[in-house]
A and B are shown apart, each in its own frame.
Chain A
Amino acid sequence: MRVMVIDDSKTMRNIERSILNQLGYTEVEEACNGQDALTKVAAFNPDLLLVDWNMPNMDGITFVKAYREQGHKTAIIMVTTENEKTRVIEAIKAGVNNYVVKPFTPELLGERINDTMAKLESAP
């Protein structure tokens, strides 16, 4: 499975990449904001996107809307400090499949990835 990690923090990209590697996902691409991600998704063709919310240049929610408007059905998990119910609803409406609040454990991220991919595979 090919995973793209989109976060302006190199620290968080490294942490998420490390967790993904431990979970057996070794095809990982990184982007440092939404604009950077939009330029990389076509070439990388990911199966899953982990997207931060607050980023400079283009934030995560703007990226998700733009990406969905292009017709992509790829799974998206928002990984963010934005914890309020209204924000979660906003993200789901924009097309996010699942949500992980920072800080998170490797176990939680793994569970959310498995749940998300399982739901997409079982969808008609």
Chain B
Amino acid sequence: MSNALNPIYVTAFIEATQNVFQTMLRQDVSFGKPVPGRLPHLQNDVSAIIGMTGDVVGTVVLSLPAATASKIVECFVGSPIDIKNDDFADAVGELVNMISGGAKAKFDGQQVRISCPSVVIGQGHTVQQPSGSVCISIPCESSCGGFSVDVSIKKVGVSQASEPAAA
């Protein structure tokens, strides 16, 4: 398996992230060059994690610094929420739920189910991606600050997750 994710998946997550932010937060997101291969040990404060099963098996992580997450949650729900409040995790979890749901709909005929989201909050934590996965980190910039959407795909049933290796 190559360490580059099939562009179909990358595009799906970029479009889904843009759609969620434009629709629910009324703001645009700009995207940096996706970083292919195994994810570096990202230092983040808030991680919303969702699992994918079915024709595509993997995880999606919405990784945010605390300040960015707080601004995004305030914009999303319409009022500030303390990061220690359960409602804060609920809001961040719903964002990754909508991003993942929107992305999987663009997976070209593949049947994929997503799990209920989990949210990790802790200063400078690391989300270790499973070995044997094809991983990519998509840098995102919003008016609330920078964050990333990190996608890790371990198995694909119908088509290939990774780009064919060069001959």
Contact = CB atoms under 8 A, between A and B. Distances in A.
Interface of A: 8-12, 14-15, 18, 54-56, 80-84, 86, 102-105
Contact of A11 (B87, B104, B111): B87
What 4 pairs across the A-B complex have the smallest Cβ distances? Answer: A81-B101, A83-B105, A103-B23, A11-B91
B102 A83 contact: yes
Given A10-B87, A15-B77, A103-B19, A82 B94 contact: no
Contacts of B94: 9, 11-12
Contacts of B93: 9
Nearest to B87: A10
Contact of A103 (B98, B104, B105, B116): B98
Say what secondary structure dominates the interface of chain B: helix
Interface centre among A11, A12, A82, A105 (most CB of B within 10 A): A11
B138 interface: no
A83 B101 contact: yes
Interface of B: 19-20, 23-24, 76-78, 86-87, 90-91, 93-94, 97-98, 100-102, 104-105, 111, 114, 116
A54 B19 contact: no
B102 A9 contact: no
A10 B90 contact: yes
Contact of B116 (A12, A56, A82, A104): A56
A105 B91 CA distance: 17
Given A54-B97, A83-B101, A103 B111 contact: no
A86 B113 CA distance: 12
B87 A81 contact: no
B116 A102 contact: no
A102 B101 contact: yes
B92 to A, nearest CB: 9
20 contacts: A9-B91, A10-B86, A10-B90, A11-B90, A18-B78, A54-B116, A81-B100, A81-B114, A83-B101, A83-B102, A83-B105, A84-B111, A86-B111, A102-B97, A102-B101, A103-B19, A103-B23, A103-B24, A103-B98, A104-B23
